[in-house]
Each structure stands twice: as C-alpha cells, then as structure tokens.
Chains A and B, each alone.
Chain A
Amino acid sequence: MIAETFNNFLGGTAALFGDPMGVLIFFGGVVGGMLFGAIPGVSMLTLAAILLPFTAHLSAEHGIMLFSVIYCTGVYGGAITAILFNIPGAPENAPTAFDGYPMTLKGEAGKAVGAAVMCSAIGGTVSCIVMMLATAAIADWAISAFGPPEIFALVFFGLAVAASVGAKSFWKGWLSIMAGLMIAVIGLDPVGGIERYNFDMPYLAAGIHFIPTILGFFAVSEIFVQAEKKATGSFKAPKLSVDFPTFKELWMHKIAVIRSIFIGFFCGILPGIGATLAAFMGYNEAARWSKHRAEFGTGRIEGVISSETANNAATGAAMIPLLALGLPGGALTAMMVGVFQMHDMEPGPLVFINSPDLVWVVFAAMFFANLSILLVGFLEAKTIVNLLRIPFQYLAPMILCLATVGAYAVRGLTIDVIVMFVAGVAGFFLRRSGYSVAGIVLGLILGKIGEQTFAQAMQMLHFEFSGFLGRPIAFGLLIAGFITIFASVYGAFFKKKPQLTES
C-alpha cells in the first residue's frame, strides 16, 4: 500500500510541477494564504471568498488545489497576527494568542513566530502524509464510529476542558463559555427554524455572525485594553525581536508536538469540528500535562507549539471527510464544495474513482504547501515582525479601520460593524473582570454544532438519555467531560489554597 501511495504521490507531484499554470497558482496560493492570514482584520476566508467566483475560469484541479493551498498556509498565517497583535487570523489561531501575545510583550515575538513556523510545518506535513496513507481506512472508521451522539459528546468534552483556559478562574471560564453558547442561541433554532431572542429586530433573526464577533472580542477589545493602559500610564510597547527558537528549545517540547499532531488529526477528521477544537484541545492538553501549568497564558512557548501543531495537523485531516464523503468540516472546506459544484462535480467517494489525478495533485500541493511554510514563512515572519516598530497611536486606527472593512465585507451590513464594536466594548469589560474572550468565542462557534448534534442524537436515541450508555465513545467522552467539571468544582470548594501575600 505504501509503494502504491508513493507512486500516486510522485504522479501528483509531477502533474503539479510539470504544469506552469499549476506552479503559478500554487505559489500564488502559498503567498496569498500567508499574507491574508497575517494581515490584521482580514483572513484566508476573505481571500477565499474573493477568489471563489474566479475559480470558474480555472480547471477543477487548479481551483481545488488553490483552495487547499490557501487553507494550509492561511491557518499558519493567522498565527502571526495572533502572536504580534493578539488578533487571531481565524478562530483556530485563538489559543496561539494565549501565550504568543504575552511572549511578544516580553520581547520574544521572534521565538513565538519561529515556533509557529516550525510547528505549523511539522503538524501540517505529518498530517498530509497520514492523509495520503490512510484516507480510506480512517474515513471509514471515523464516519461509522462518530455519529451525532459522539460529536455532541466531543463538543461537550472540549468545552469542559476549555473552561479552564484563559479566564481568571474556573467559574469565570465556565461563565465565558456559557455566554458564548447563549450568543449562538440567538437566531433560528436548528430543528424547527423557530426565531429565538430576536427582540423584534430583523437583523437578529439570522443570528449574530461569528466574524464580526471574533474581530470585536479579539482585535477591538485589545485596542481598548491597550488604550486603557496608555491612559493609566501602564502601557509598554512590545519589544522587537527576530531571534528564532533554537532546535534544542523545540526538541524539548517534542512530546507536546506529537500529542498535538494526534489531537489535531483526530479533531480535523470529524466533520464540523475541525481545526478550532483541535487547537483548543492541543493547547489544553499541553497545559494539563505540563509541569509549568500555572505559567500557561503568561508566555510559554509550549502553548504556541501545541496550538499551532494541532491546527495545522487538522488541515490534512479535514480533507478526508470532504473528499471521501463530501462533508465539509469548516467554512473554507465548505467553499471548496462550491468550487466542485462550479465544475459540475460533487465531492465524495466517486471523486477517488472518477478523478484520481485531481485527488493526488491536491494531496501533493498540500504536502508542498506545508513544507513551503518553513521557507516562505520564515522570510515573511522576518518582514512582518517589523510591524511592531509602528507606534501604537498609528497602529490602533489602522487595525480598527481594517477590522471595520473586514466586518462590513462579510455581508455588506453596517450593523455587523456595530456588533463588532459592541463586542469589543463587552470584551474590554469582561477582560477587566477576568473573563475569557476566547472562551466566549469557542462557545459561540461550537454552540450551534453542539445544539444541532444534541438534537440529532436525541432523535436517534428516541429521546432516551440512557442511549448514550450503548455508545462507548460518546459515553466515555461525556464521563471525561463531567470528571473535568467536577474536579474543578471540587478544587474550588475543598482544596486548600495558598494565601496571597501583600507583595
């Protein structure tokens, strides 16, 4: 099987690099994905949305390949803004900001970006290799073993674990996630299409879009926090550095890398879960097993490593349900379904039979896109780190204007811009009170998936909660989630706490 895979891969590589137009599109996708991922206020999704109509003029092979390359490099590109400005380029980069941005404030931006470059490349490349070797077998297992009850249980477990990240306390973490889940409830109910919490406002009937909310909670609230520091005289300009981490420093965290590859790949393969939960779980597990757990969130390189390895490891895996079953795992893979449809094709098992060339060109392109993160990523990072030289009073209006354009461009509604700035103000006050904006965003994103899969699971199980007992994976994940919550509650009430000293 390995020899056959290797031959197919060589065939795909030859087809990719033997075609000048293919090479041009490949490098355009690599640079475009990285740039759009790294520019504050826009993301790889913005680029993909702009390019989508133009793919009708490309061949199906080139169109799908372009999107898959943008996916790989865009996920990495988002880490740069997360590290430098606390603005995750995409939700999957949010955990990268937890430690990446404090590293920037400490003058270790170069180390954080370097770790992101290395680990994104490692996670993505390994994921691609496994994708090529095991697409069929893994798809068969995951799709048959993971129905709605298991996906709901996984969402529950992910949220339970995420409650312990980013906030000042377990309670605030849990309240942050619940607030995010409540925001996700606004709009139509996923089963009956009943309007909920629209308060007679037509805009709210469609729900609150996650892109303005994310921009508000991360980018805008960060500007407000820094503005408060300026007003109170506690503002410290981030220090500039381009000293990348040494091989020894990265080698010390090899276990975190391997663990994150497994987590990322496993989460990526599940439709609708993808890289976001992968990054959060990669980060959480790194924190859980680390000897320096209390230092997570203050600028540990391990936090950046685990999050970036996991989210890039999910990119290869996310192609499995897309190509094997036609199930998109996220916004970008959903756009890829659009590219297939523009060429009168349907992604699914038949693609492997009818268009094996397309599949292997895409696999080869993803493999080389991940490798190119190493080269182009380092060059790009060296340039973009210099953005930190810009004084904050000039950077702030630039970021706010970019965020305005980003929020407006989603649907062409000024109300989205208002929602973004209101979310920014809410994020500012919540952060002052020790709440986690990342928790709110995770709750918002996973809320809809959680409710939908819960409803499907209950219908499947004939509304009997005991039905979960007969599904070992779902049952195990639910138990693990409950244990995580009860351990935190027990710790809050019954564990002895060190008393704070005056110093």
Chain B
Amino acid sequence: MGKLSKGQLVEAAFWLVLVAIFFAYSFEFNNEIEIYKYGATLWPRTILVLIALAAIGQLLDQRKNGNVASSNTMAAAHEDSAQDTELNSLGWYFNTFILLSLPFIYMTLPDLLVKQMAIPEEGVAKLKIICAAVLLIAYLAIGWRNHVGAILALPIFFAALMQDMGFYALAPVFIIGIMILMGERRVSRMALIMPLLYGILLAFFVSLLYVGLPTGNISPFYEFGSWMVKTFQ
C-alpha cells in the first residue's frame, strides 16, 4: 500500500471543493420545467457526482498502488507531466498566481475606482492608462525571475488590455514580449521579425479578409487603431 503524496491529496481536494461549489450553486437554478420533470439540475448534478466518484477512486487507486496507480492507457500526456524542477515549488505556484491575477485586477479595478471616487467620464481613460502602467511594472517586477509564469500571464494581459487599447497598438509589444520570453535577445532579429509578423497579420486578415479587429476605446489608442484600419482596408 503506497503512501499518498501532498500533491495527490491537493489534487483530490481540488476536485471535491469544485464539486461542492458547483453543487451548492446548482440550487440557484433549481427551477421546475413543466415538460421535463428532471429540471435543469439533474444533468449537472449527475456529472458532479461522477467527478466526485472519479476523484475518490483516483485517490484510493493511488493509495493502493502508489506510483504505478491506475490502469490503462496510452501515453499521450506522459511527456507533458511536470518534471521535478523549481517549477513545482509552492513559491513558484504563488508567484505565478499573483502574475495571473494582474490582468483580472485591470479588468475590475478601474471600474471599481470610477464608482467609488465618482471620476468624470474624461478621467476614466487616464485612470485606465495609469492602472495598466502600474500593473505592467508589477508584472515586470514579479515576472523577472519567473519566465514560465510571465509567459502564462502575458497573453491574458494582452487580451485584457485589448478591449481598451486595441489589437493594433498592443500586438507589436506583445510579439516582442513573447519573443523575449522565448529566449530571443538579438535586437536586430526582433526589429526584423516583429514588423514582418505584424505586417503579414494585417495584410492577410485586415486587407484581404476584412476581419474587424478591436481598435480600442480610449485615446490615443482608438485613433491609432482607426487609422490602421483605414490604411489597411
């Protein structure tokens, strides 16, 4: 009989907590449907029970069989499994969690401040730019020594800013950011590749297929995005 590791216990706890939260929330929509006596909750609750059973089954299997736990199968996911590196430490997970939460802070904080401080309409754009700048500095400070966490957070940051600042203004910075995080250090290469990728994207999607990408909604990003659309379409 093997001894359960901390990771295995955390994994089982994650699923069971998730089941508990979703099961509790299912009472919010536990309404009757006239033509269907099982209502809207039978299906999700059955899935939740099955998740709980599978999580407990996995735990029992791991307890019984240790490292060789569980039966089948084909090995597609094996190569992806985490290696024993510092990327498994609690500190790394905490650091990454902070990095990942930065974009969501941007999505909620400015609106919250606007409501609380009764900021006028014309000040909202400035507030959003200041928030983005502060969070970007925080991102660089925290992500400096956590490359993988920084790579995970950068695209979400890019997407969170896109609504306000537009694809056209952010894409060049995003392309360069990903290249740096992937290990590129040669400025000449970056100066060549970035305009090339950006140009191909705009030529194919904006000029050829007329795909409408977000232009942003705060100045000066909106003006820049609109100018790019006019130029390329």
Partners in one complex: yes
Q: Mark B67-103, 1 if CB is under 8 A from A, else 0.
A: 1111111111111111101010000000000001001
Q: Do residues B205 and A405 form an inter-chain contact, with CB atoms below 8 A? A: yes
B132-140, B179-187, B222-230 - the one binding chain A: B179-187
Query: Known contacts A172-B58, A196-B40, A451-B43; is A50 also within 8 Å of B209 by CB?
Result: yes
Complex Cα gap A326–B184 (Å):
53
CB contacts under 8 Å to A, within B23-43, are 25-26, 29, 31, 33, 35-40, 43
**Chain A residues with a Cβ closer than 8 Å to the other chain, count:** 91
Closest to B212 in A: A412
Complex Cα gap A96–B175 (Å):
29
**Chain B residues with a Cβ closer than 8 Å to the other chain, count:** 80
Complex Cα gap A196–B40 (Å):
8
Q: Tell me the smallest distance from the CB of B34 to a CB of chain A, in Å.
A: 8
Which B residues are CB-close (under 8 A) to A396? 178-179, 182
Q: Do residues B174 and A397 form an inter-chain contact, with CB atoms below 8 A? A: yes
Q: Do residues A408 and B77 form an inter-chain contact, with CB atoms below 8 A? A: no
CB contacts under 8 Å to A, within B161-177, are 162-163, 167, 171, 174-175
- Which of B87, B156, B179 lies in contact with A393, CB distance below 8 A? B179
Query: Known contacts A194-B33, A434-B77; is A414 also within 8 Å of B159 by CB?
Result: yes
The reply on B148 being an interface residue by CB < 8 A is: yes
Complex Cα gap A489–B54 (Å):
10
CB contacts under 8 Å to B, within A356-411, are 392-394, 396-398, 400-402, 404-405, 408-409
Q: Tell me the smallest distance from the CB of A397 to a CB of chain B, in Å.
A: 4
Complex Cα gap A489–B201 (Å):
49
Which DSSP category, helix, strand, loop or mixed, fits chain A's interface? helix
Query: Known contacts A228-B148, A414-B159; is A166 also within 8 Å of B74 by CB?
Result: yes
Q: Do residues A175 and B54 form an inter-chain contact, with CB atoms below 8 A? A: yes
Complex Cα gap A165–B78 (Å):
12
Complex Cα gap A288–B212 (Å):
46
CB contacts under 8 Å to B, within A168-195, are 168-175, 178-179, 181-182, 185, 189, 191-192, 194-195
A77-85, A130-138, A494-502 - the one binding chain B: A494-502
The reply on A123 being an interface residue by CB < 8 A is: no
Q: Tell me the smallest distance from the CB of A352 to a CB of chain B, in Å.
A: 35
The reply on B4 being an interface residue by CB < 8 A is: no
Query: Known contacts A169-B72, A196-B29; is A414 also within 8 Å of B77 by CB?
Result: no
- Which of A98, A230, A422 lies in contact with B183, CB distance below 8 A? A230
Complex Cα gap A134–B106 (Å):
59
A-B CB contacts (within 8 Å), total count: 250
CB contacts under 8 Å to B, within A81-110, are 98, 102
Query: Known contacts A178-B51, A418-B156, A492-B70; is A165 also within 8 Å of B76 by CB?
Result: yes
Q: Do residues B80 and A225 form an inter-chain contact, with CB atoms below 8 A? A: yes
Which B residues are CB-close (under 8 A) to A166? 74, 76-77
Complex Cα gap A98–B35 (Å):
42
The reply on B55 being an interface residue by CB < 8 A is: yes
Q: Tell me the smallest distance from the CB of A97 to a CB of chain B, in Å.
A: 9
Which B residues are CB-close (under 8 A) to A165? 73-74, 76
The reply on A234 being an interface residue by CB < 8 A is: yes
- Which of B83, B152, B158, B209 lies in contact with A232, CB distance below 8 A? B83
The reply on B142 being an interface residue by CB < 8 A is: no
Closest to B69 in A: A169
Q: Do residues B213 and A408 form an inter-chain contact, with CB atoms below 8 A? A: yes
Closest to A182 in B: B47
- Which of A402, A404, A491 lies in contact with B72, CB distance below 8 A? A491
Q: Do residues A397 and B159 form an inter-chain contact, with CB atoms below 8 A? A: no
The reply on A227 being an interface residue by CB < 8 A is: yes
The reply on B155 being an interface residue by CB < 8 A is: yes
Q: Do residues A175 and B162 form an inter-chain contact, with CB atoms below 8 A? A: no
Q: Tell me the smallest distance from the CB of A307 to a CB of chain B, in Å.
A: 12
Q: Do residues B35 and A459 form an inter-chain contact, with CB atoms below 8 A? A: yes
- Which of A170, A414, A458 lies in contact with B162, CB distance below 8 A? A414
Which A residues are CB-close (under 8 A) to B47? 178, 181-182, 185
Q: Do residues B73 and A167 form an inter-chain contact, with CB atoms below 8 A? A: yes
The reply on B141 being an interface residue by CB < 8 A is: no
Q: Do residues A421 and B57 form an inter-chain contact, with CB atoms below 8 A? A: no
Which A residues are CB-close (under 8 A) to B193? 394
The reply on A268 being an interface residue by CB < 8 A is: no
Q: Do residues B152 and A425 form an inter-chain contact, with CB atoms below 8 A? A: yes
The reply on A488 being an interface residue by CB < 8 A is: yes
Closest to A194 in B: B40
Q: Do residues B147 and A170 form an inter-chain contact, with CB atoms below 8 A? A: no
Which A residues are CB-close (under 8 A) to B22? 182, 197
Which B residues are CB-close (under 8 A) to A260? none
CB contacts under 8 Å to A, within B46-70, are 47-48, 50-51, 54-55, 57-58, 60-61, 64-65, 67-70
The reply on A241 being an interface residue by CB < 8 A is: no
Complex Cα gap A184–B24 (Å):
18
Which B residues are CB-close (under 8 A) to A192? 31, 33, 35-36, 39-40
Which A residues are CB-close (under 8 A) to B44? 182, 185, 196-197
Q: Do residues A164 and B29 form an inter-chain contact, with CB atoms below 8 A? A: no
Which A residues are CB-close (under 8 A) to B87? 228, 231-232
Which A residues are CB-close (under 8 A) to B61? 169, 171, 492-493
Q: Tell me the smallest distance from the CB of A285 to a CB of chain B, in Å.
A: 13
The CB with the most chain B CB atoms within 10 A, among A50, A298, A397, is that of: A397
The reply on A294 being an interface residue by CB < 8 A is: yes
Closest to B171 in A: A401
The reply on A210 being an interface residue by CB < 8 A is: no
CB contacts under 8 Å to B, within A290-306, are 293-298
Q: Do residues B77 and A431 form an inter-chain contact, with CB atoms below 8 A? A: yes
Complex Cα gap A142–B47 (Å):
29
The reply on B211 being an interface residue by CB < 8 A is: yes
Q: Do residues B151 and A227 form an inter-chain contact, with CB atoms below 8 A? A: yes
The 5 closest A-B pairs by CB, nearest first: A169-B70, A297-B76, A171-B58, A192-B33, A491-B71
Other contacts beyond A224-B151, A492-B61: 12, CB < 8 A:
A166-B77, A167-B77, A171-B54, A195-B29, A196-B29, A234-B83, A297-B78, A397-B178, A401-B175, A414-B162, A431-B81, A432-B81
Chain B interface (Cβ < 8 Å from any Cβ of A): 11, 15, 22, 25-26, 29, 31, 33, 35-40, 43-44, 47-48, 50-51, 54-55, 57-58, 60-61, 64-65, 67-83, 85, 87, 100, 103, 147-148, 151-152, 155-156, 158-160, 162-163, 167, 171, 174-175, 178-179, 181-184, 193, 197, 200-201, 205, 209, 211-214
Q: Could you list some 14 contacts between A and B, CB below 8 A?
A: A102-B76, A181-B47, A189-B43, A224-B152, A227-B147, A417-B162, A421-B155, A431-B81, A458-B36, A459-B36, A492-B65, A492-B69, A497-B68, A500-B67
